[in-house]
Amino acid sequence: MKYQGYLTKMAISCESDIAQYQVRLDDHEIPLNEKIGQPIRIEYLGEIRCQGCLRKTNKSFSQGYCYPCFAKLAQCDRCIMSPEKCHYHNGTCRDPKWGEEFCMQDHIVYLANSSGIKVGITRHTQIPTRWLDQGAMQALPIARVATRQLSGLLEVIFKQHVADKTNWRTLLKQDAEDLDLSLKRDELFELCHEEIEELQGEYGLMGVQLLYDAQQAEFRYPVTQYPTKVSSFNLDKNPLVEGKLMGIKGQYLLLDTGVINLRKYTSYHVAIDC
């Protein structure tokens, strides 16, 4: 079947033992798990339509925005990548209403095991989607905080002792070795107890709640064969991707000819034949 439209990140569900994927092109949702082992062809048709204002743009910023939207929208501000730099309290948020809806709500600080252990943050409503998007094999909530900024401040404390980035090449070469994340949580709480207490003293115990009894989640992905060497496709340099689909993990398609991060190409107009 051949489909055409503007890409958004893949939809993922975990209602079965293996994560279930759908590629989304406009209103089309293409189930992908059943395509494992079959040829797939993706062609970039040369147009990007900003997901903010829908105008055509020659270059994508912040995964799918034109430059004017990138420069003015709250969801593209520097504090999205570095939540501890939130400036809402200074009255300088680009869009206070957006900030209230997305940032002034409970966030979860978590440990995940994708390419090894890492600390991360997400809105409480994005669990487990965030973990699946990252290709996590295991994940454990370790704190619940009142705002996005607080999640960033707590993450900064923890990342002195644990990584805050996923090694995407390692992620795509193998399954992560099983870990007991609760042991690492307890170790972090002990190492960071003074800084945590200082944060709780400033924002209150309800503002920064440590989670001692959360359950560790585990995920599996539809991968029949990992590449021995990870080579990534770049639609901006070569608009055609072809190969046999060997697996899906995070937002990556693993082909026998290379890998592609579909989320990177949000708002690209493509044709998919699979």
Residue 6 CA to residue 268 CA, distance in Å, equals: 5
User: Is residue 163 located within the same domain as residue 212?
Assistant: yes
| pLDDT at position 259 over 90 | yes
- Confidence category of residue 153, pLDDT binned at 50, 70, 90: very high
Same domain, 205 and 129: yes
Structure tokens at 71: 């420069």
Mean pLDDT of the chain: 95
Same domain as 55, residue 27: yes
Rounded CA separation 44/25 (Å): 12
Please compute the mean of the pLDDT values over residues 204-211 and round it to a whole number: 95
| Exposure string over 92-114, b if 16+ CB within 10 A, otherwise e | ebbeeeebeebbeeebbbbbbbb
Region of 135 please: left (phi>0), alpha (psi -120 to 50) or beta.
left
pLDDT value at 106 more than 90: yes
- Give the domain range for residue 142: 104-218
Q: Two tokens at 241?
A: 């991707």
Number of domains the chain is built from: 2
Question: Does 202 share its domain with 236?
Answer: no
The string of pLDDT tens digits covering residues 77-105 is 999 999 999 999 999 999 999 999 999 99
Residues 111 and 210 in one domain: yes
Angle ∠(139,144,148) on CA atoms, nearest 5: 100
Residues 124 and 55 in one domain: no
Question: Does residue 201 carry a pLDDT above 90?
Answer: yes
Looking at the fold, whether 108 and 198 belong to one and the same domain comes out as yes
* Token pair belonging to 153: 């401040």
Residue 91 in domain: no
Contact in structure between 46 and 31 (CB atoms under 8 Å): no
- Per-residue pLDDT tens digits for 2-39: 999 999 999 999 877 899 999 999 988 999 999 999 99
- The DSSP 8-state label assigned to residue 228 in this structure reads S
Query: Based on the domain organization, do 65 and 111 belong to the same domain?
Result: no
Find out whether 176 and 141 touch, Cβ atoms under 8 Å: no
Higher pLDDT, 144 or 115: 144
Residues 199 and 124 occupy one common structural domain: yes
pLDDT at 15: 79
Residue 195 shares a structural domain with residue 257: no
Instruction: Kindly state whether residues 159 and 108 are assigned to the same domain.
Output: yes
Quote the pTM value: 0.94
At a CB cut-off of 8 Å and minimum separation 6, what does 130 contact? 120, 122
